[in-house]
Amino acid sequence: MHLFIKNMVCNRCILVVQQELEKLDIPYAKIDLGDVELEKAPAPEKLEVLGKQLHALGFELLDDKKTTLVEKLKTTVIRLIHGNENETLNTKLSVYLQEALQVDYHYLSTLFSSTEGLTIEKYVILQRIERVKELLQYDEMNLSEIADSLGYSSVQHLSQQFKKVTGLTPTGYRQLKENNRKPLDKV
Instruction: Give tens-digit pLDDT for 31-68.
Output: 988 889 999 999 999 999 999 999 999 999 988 889 99
User: Which of 57, 53, 22, 27 shows the shortest CA–CA distance to 41?
Assistant: 27
pLDDT digits (tens, 9 = 90+) for 109-162: 999 999 999 999 999 999 999 999 999 988 889 999 999 888 898 999 999 999
The mean pLDDT of the chain is 89
Among 157, 138, 161, residue whose Cα is nearest residue 148: 157
| Closest residue by Cα to residue 7 from 49, 68, 64 | 68
**Phi–psi pair at 168, nearest 5 degrees:** -125, 155
